[in-house]
Amino acid sequence: MAQSLGITIERTSKGMPVYARIDLRKHSDIIPILETKGAEVEKQINWSAKMKKAFEEKEFSVLDMDNFWEE
């Protein structure tokens, strides 16, 4: 049987298949199938936009370690 790179089947001691590990970087076409089955695939976070928004909304200050407990 041909072996597919990026897919590993884990079996029990009796030889029954239990888990499949799939490298989604190699098999990205499987992601829509997993989503229809209810798997949550997180989207990448645009950190720069979130950080800019956080800086606009809040004021950040540097703490003085000598007076840490007094603030």
Give the model confidence (pLDDT) of 16-39 as tens digits: 999 999 998 899 899 899 989 998
Residue 71 has pLDDT above 90, yes or no: no
Is residue 6 within 8 A of residue 26, CB to CB? The reply is: yes
Q: Minimal CA–CA distance to 45: which of 54, 37, 36? A: 54
CB 42 within 8 A of CB 58: no
Q: What is the model's pLDDT at position 70?
A: 66
Q: Cα(32)–Cα(38) distance, rounded to whole angstroms?
A: 10
* Number of domains forming the structure of the chain: 1
Domain of 30 in residue numbering reads as 7-65
**3-class state of residue 2 by DSSP:** coil
CA distances from 16 to 1, 37, 42 (A): 17, 22, 31
Q: Does residue 1 sit within a domain? A: no
Q: What pLDDT is attached to residue 4?
A: 65
Band (1; pLDDT cuts 50, 70, 90): very low
pLDDT at 11: 95
Let me know if residue 70 belongs to a domain: no
Q: Per-residue pLDDT averaged across 41-70, rounded? A: 74
